Structure 1
Amino acid sequence: MKSLALSAVLLTALAGCASTPTVHTDYDPGTQFSSYHTYTWLKKPEGRSPLVDQRVTAAIDAHLAAKGWRQTSGTDADIGLAANVATQQQQTLDTFYSGPAWGGYGWGRWGGGVGMGSATTTVRTYEVGTLVLDMFDMKTKQAVWRGTASGTVPDSPEAVNAKVQAGVDKMFATFPPGSVPAK
């Protein structure tokens, strides 16, 4: 029983370490990002919570402002932003074994025996959230950059906010392409 409790604690600790969002970015290598200075929102994120959507938008706006970009409205912008948020439920099966029960003494048929161990399986359901941010050149109408951040959605609003910020921070760490990562 002690080993089962220790296994559960270890698994929980390891899960906590792997909680940073997974982020991927892609871009058109022929794009001169230094020529872009303004942007407009073509589509703001719309997820399950308008408060989280507002925080995603504010985090992206803050990162672009820090890069010297200015938000504008209409067709005079250099870049158009389109953000999408999606969530889906996933399940995992966690099985813990107590191991075989060695019984008696001796070998095989001469007095010994092997008993069956026991296993406990738990179904864990969790929600995974994904943010996709696309950037389009407003003159050519071509995609020039895409960032995705995906991770397990926590239960508390504070943890959700921290995950959103961590995902957007990681997404913009090397933006614009070719820049040195923030430290």
Structure 2
Amino acid sequence: MKHKKLRPFGTLPLLIFSMLLLPLSSCTRFPLADTEYIFDPSINYRQFRTYAWIEPEVPSPIEGEVGPFYNTLWDRRIREAVSSALVKEGLNPTGGEEIPDVLLAYDVRVDDGQRAVEDNTFPPSYGYWYGYRYRYDYTNLASARNIRDYQVGSIIVDVIDPVTKELIWRGWSEATVDPADMNEGYLNMVVADIMARFPPTPDITR
């Protein structure tokens, strides 16, 4: 009985195979993120239909200190990724002077050399990427942590009550990479994984 010889792959199939592996390899060069969330179970999150981004304040650095680290590209990408996930859940951005149902904020934990000096006039909430400071309170959620207590490279998204200025939902992914080195595909994947937990489902064990 004659056996057929296996023919080696031609150039074209190998090229196609390599192209298929490229997106995968660009993502797997980063460690997988550990994604979690916390929320206020007394709130009906399904009632929300509109959102707006809370406006951060950027303090002036003290003379001789490191100034705010800001990257408009990453700011836009993170906002777009969060907004895309919310639109799929039926939430849309407010227009004009309309008061939103919820406010949004995000932050990324960077090492201390990349942040502005701490401003103690702000409540204990956010402000370690870009030197942002947000005037809202997270202490109503018992298990919420200060941003400095997250691993460097963590991405955190907050949903805030626009009236009380209190945190009602927080999702985060603790990755061990420099956010400035993450590619767009990996960033979208991480943010989508965070926002997949919103709105929360209180009757399901996380």
TM-score interval (norm. to shorter): 0.5 to 0.7
Change (3 A) 1:153 1:17: closer
**1:61, CA displacement in angstroms?**
0.5
- Alignment pair present for 1:169 and 2:192: yes
Task: Quote the Cα distance in structure 2 between the aligned partners of 1:76 and 1:162.
Answer: 33
**Which amino acid in 1 is paired with 2:92?**
R
Matches within 5 A, 1:18-97: 19-43=31-55, 48-73=70-95, 74=97, 76-88=99-111
Is the contact made by 2:85 and 2:196 (CA closer than 8 Å) also made in structure 1? no
**Which consecutive unaligned segments of at least 5 residues does structure 2 have?**
1-27, 57-67, 113-150
The CA distance in 1 between the partners of 2:195 and 2:40, in whole Å, is: 16
| Residues 63 and 88 of structure 1: CA distance in aligned 2, closer, same or farther (over 3 Å) | same
Q: How far off its partner does 1:154 sit?
A: 6.3
For the residues of structure 2 that align with 1:23 and 1:155, how far apart are their CA atoms? 16
Shift in Å, 1:72: 1.0
SS in 2 for 1:87: coil
2:186 corresponds to which letter in structure 1?
Answer: K
CA contact (8 A) 1:21 1:149 kept: yes
Residue 167 of structure 1, CA deviation: 1.2
Shift of 1:138: 1.6
Structure 2 length normalisation: TM-score?
0.52
* Structure with greater proportional strand content: 1
State the Cα deviation string for residues 140-183 of structure 1 (Å, max 9, x = none): 333210011221336996x52122112111112232111899xx
Task: Write the letter of the residue equivalent to 2:111.
Answer: Q
TM-score relative to the length of structure 1: 0.58
Whether the 8 Å CA contact 2:153–2:178 is kept in 1: the answer is no
Residues 12-51 of structure 1, C-alpha deviation per residue, up to 9 Å, x if partnerless? xxxx58712221111001110011100010047x865321
Following TM superposition, by how much is the alpha carbon of 1:82 offset from its aligned partner in structure 2, in angstroms? Answer: 1.5
Q: Alignment partner of 2:200: what SS?
A: coil
Which residue of structure 1 lines up, in the alignment, with residue 61 of structure 2?
none
Larger Rg belongs to: 1
Q: Deviations over 1:70-104 (max 9, x none)?
A: 10155610001121122128xxxxxxxxxxxxxxx
Alpha-carbon RMSD across the aligned residues, in angstroms, is 3.2
What is the aligned residue count? 127
SS at match of 2:111: strand
**Paired position in structure 1 for 2:159:** 135
Aligned twin of 1:102: none
* Distance across 1 between alignment mates of 2:52 and 2:158: 12
Quick one: distance in 1 between partners of 2:88 and 2:179? 30
Q: Which amino acid aligns with 1:148?
A: W
Q: Which runs of 5+ in 1 are unaligned?
A: 1-15, 90-126
Give yes or no for the alignment of 1:148 onto 2:160: no
Distance 2:156 2:50 in 1: 20
Moved more, 170-179 or 53-62: 170-179
